[in-house]
Amino acid sequence: MAKKRGTIPENVLERVLLDSRRRCCICYQSGNDQVREGKVTHIDPQTTPAASDPVDNLVFLCEQHHHELETGRISTDRLREAREQLYRALREGPFIGAGEEEAASYQYERHVCALLTAAFERTFNGQVAIHEEGSSPGPTSTSPDVPFSADVTIAGIHIWLVADAKYAERNIGLNDLRAFAGVVHYLKANKGIFVTNTGFSESAVQFANAEGIALAIIKREDRELQPGFVSDAVARVQRAEPARRM
Ligand SMILES: [Zn+2]
């Protein structure tokens, strides 16, 4: 994407592109929530950059609305309001658009893995091997995979924990937990941890308790796990058993 003006630093530009997720806020007002070709531009070209917040006077616009802004057909007030609406919608999501859900769930998975990795390394300093996405053992590419697993050694005993993270708009239901339990059994892991940003249905909680699967809610904005999260999960390790029917 061509930079509009050389005066916008790269990191500020990045932030506007991230904040807007390349949605044009004027298009969004008329119901178009798709990613657009466009550029980051100053809302009010007369305003000197606010010392407090460099992104305050910046907005991402599609080519057409950028042109309308430059020719004075969009007022700065309207533009600010439209930008606020878009940002609010993006923050509060769910945001439906092509590829958006996938991107959100991938980002969430990476976020959870990073938090788990940090927490496990802190708790089991030097006694844990972490495997992230695609590195769990499996003879074929079709074998079930988990985004995160940790091989913990305590007093010479190996405990293998596997975790899955699912970004969702509603509570996680029984079917998701059943599928995950199947993966845990298949991989012969000692402990499964299922993480989501929302919550779990009652039947999912019952099933998880019966299966010894740990459930955790981690928000996208969480910057670390609850103290004791990892030791709790490990303390309640159950040796792999056959799945019990509900
Ligand atoms: Zn537009």
At residue 94, the pLDDT reads 55
Centroid of ligand 1 to alpha carbon of 22 (angstroms): 10
- Cα(15)–Cα(21) distance, integer angstroms: 9
φ, ψ (nearest 5 deg) of residue 132: -110, 165
Centroid of ligand 1 to alpha carbon of 52 (angstroms): 27
Centroid of ligand 1 to alpha carbon of 2 (angstroms): 17
Centroid of ligand 1 to alpha carbon of 61 (angstroms): 6
- Cα(147)–Cα(77) distance, integer angstroms: 45
Centroid of ligand 1 to alpha carbon of 169 (angstroms): 27
Q: What residues have CB less than 8 Å from 242, skipping those under 6 apart?
A: 185
Other Cβ atoms less than 10 A from the Cβ of 185: the count is: 16
192 — pLDDT class (breaks 50, 70, 90): very high
Centroid of ligand 1 to alpha carbon of 143 (angstroms): 44
Question: pLDDT tens-digit profile of 135-169?
Answer: 334 443 344 578 899 998 888 888 899 999 999 98
- Per domain, the residue ranges of the chain are 10-92, 100-235
Decide if 175 contacts 202 (C-beta within 8 A): no
Tell me the CATH class for 100-235: alpha beta
Question: pLDDT tens-digit profile of 72-91?
Answer: 999 999 999 999 999 888 87
